[in-house]
Structure 1
Amino acid sequence: MPTLLITGANRGIGLEITRQYAADGWDVLACCRSPENAHELNKLAAATKGGVSVCLLDVANDAQRQALAAQLKGQPIDILFNSAGVSGNWATQSFGHCKTDEWLEVMRINVITPMLMMQDFAANVALSEHKIIANMSSKMGSVADNTSGGSYLYRSSKAALNMVTVSAAHDLARRKIAVVALHPGWVRTDMGGPNGELSVEESVTALKRNLAKVAFADSGRFIDIDGGDIPW
């Protein structure tokens, strides 16, 4: 069976990705910071009878990340999905209100930790059949799409993640690994708010459809929820 390793699997889009891939018969390594509090994820894992393995992982914790990498050494991972992310405080993302510590934390979680995950698990992905790394980005990280300003912390972190994705696509080409950035749409989650255009289920169904079409030639793409390309 193919294997998916996903971060941020305890809620929202990450939880639904775990659910849908498990339903398709994938082995899912579902990572979250506090497995003991991930009640919905644990219920899902119990229902799949081994199809979902709940893994302790705070992506910003070097020791935890390296311990998991050591535990999984030699195990193929078909898709590494860097889904964990933060929005930051929306109230302090307008011009004149940005704060250093908050901005650094958003960059640390949204940019640096996906890069470290790629470094730590690229060898596993290279052993697999699918050989895909997916980074959860956002159209808000598109410079061309920015017509309203604001949201400095979140926008800049996703723009930086896009650059990291493209650089990794070049660097991992010799291993035939496809690295892509995905836009999940505007989704009704804690981060997206109640006015989002898509339900979590609709978003994940589309994300899965897009990932199923990813080939090595797609490496470095910024893929919209409808499967098209988003301008940088």
Structure 2
Amino acid sequence: MRYAITGASRGLGLEFVRQLLNRGDSIDAGARSPAEARQLQGLAQDSRGRLRIHTLDVSNPRSVAAFAAEVGQGQPVDVLINNAGVFGKNEPLGRLDFEDVEKTLTTNALGPLRLTSALLPALRRGEARRVVHITSVLGSIGDNAMGGYYGYRLSKAALNMGMRNMHLELRAEGFVTIVINQVWVQTDMGGPQAPLRPEESVHAMLQVIDGLSVEQSGRFFNYDGSEIPW
């Protein structure tokens, strides 16, 4: 199958690319600075043409349009994984950096919405018609018992609602779209103290993605396939 993956230069995005290549899939990977993505470039060199790297900043409309034009080109995309994201600052209400909150919302919520819209023709040509958004349990309203992380929580809650709208609009065409919680992982964002390694998280998420049915579309999953309250 052919995948499009954002935020592929490091962390979970890079691990998605690595595991998908190992099992024989083809990938169009987006990265803000491809020239600096040395591990990703190394994977491309060994991929026999199955990995193509593109410049992509999901917060920039022109970058998204260019990526979609390069990836589409009359070809199908079977699965889109909207992985790119930022964490932003964690500040109390009285000291919120609203520019940072706006940046976090633009990247984490509008970015996946904008890219999915731009790639919709290619996704319609695909057989799987799956759209997966990497979210966070911090976007769950029902699970929020500690507060904090205003920008990140807002952005992921908005992403979750955007996914639900996509599900309702596209389900008649056979699309399956979900949000999935990556859990706390040992990445640059998560830090070394996180309990789960990227390869463990991605392996589990791919099992969920591979096994998705039409009946599961529109739902909020944990990385292990269990469901998370809205």
TM-score, shorter chain, exceeding 0.5: yes
- Provide the rounded CA distance (Å) in 1 between the counterparts of 2:164 and 2:64: 23
Mapped partners of 1:115, 1:209: distance in 2: 24
Task: Normalising by structure 2, report the TM-score.
Answer: 0.96
**How far is the alpha carbon of 1:14 from its aligned partner?**
0.2
Shift of residue 73, structure 1, vs aligned partner = 3.2
AA of the residue aligned to 1:168: M
State percent identity of aligned pairs.
36
CA distance in 2, matches of 1:105, 1:43: 30
Structure 2 partner of 1:33: 32
- Given that 1:185 and 1:197 are in contact with CA atoms closer than 8 Å, whether structure 2 keeps it comes out as no
- Which blocks of at least 5 consecutive residues in structure 1 are unaligned? none
User: 1:231 and 2:229 equivalent?
Assistant: yes
| Worse-matched range after superposition: 79-88 or 61-70 | 61-70
8 Å contact from structure 1 (residues 126, 176) kept in 2: no
Distance 1:15 1:189 in 2: 11
Which stretch has the larger CA shift, 66-75 or 79-88? 66-75
TM-score (ref. length: structure 1): 0.95
Gaps of 5+ in 2: none
Q: Is the 8 A contact 2:2 2:27 kept in 1?
A: yes
Find runs of 4+ consecutive structure 1 residues off by over 3 angstroms.
none
Aligned to 1:134: 132
Deviations 1:24-77 (A, max 9, x none): 100010110111111110001111121211111111222222123223232111
Give the equivalent residue in structure 2 for 1:114. Answer: 112
The residue type paired with residue 184 of structure 2 is: W
Amino acid at match of 1:96: G
CA-CA distance at 1:147 after TM superposition: 1.1
Describe the SS at the equivalent of 2:94. Answer: coil
Residue by residue, what CA displacement relative to the aligned partner does 1:94-127 show, whole Å, maximum 9, x if unpaired? 3322121111000000000100011001121121
The answer for the alignment partner of 2:63 in structure 1 is 64
**1:46-195 → structure 2 map (5 Å cutoff):** 46-71=45-70, 72-90=72-90, 92=91, 94-195=92-193
May I ask how many residue pairs the two structures share in their alignment? 229
1:227 to partner: Cα distance: 0.4
Q: Give secondary structure in 1 for the equivalent of 2:4.
A: strand
Partner amino acid, structure 2, of 1:87: F
Q: Which amino acid aligns with 1:149?
A: G
In 2: Cα distance, 1:135 partner to 1:157 partner: 12
Match of 2:23? 24
Worse-superposed segment, 197-206 or 59-68? 59-68
CA contact (8 A) 2:68 2:115 kept: no
**Partner Cα distance (2:100, 2:57) in 1:** 18
SS class of match (1:89): coil
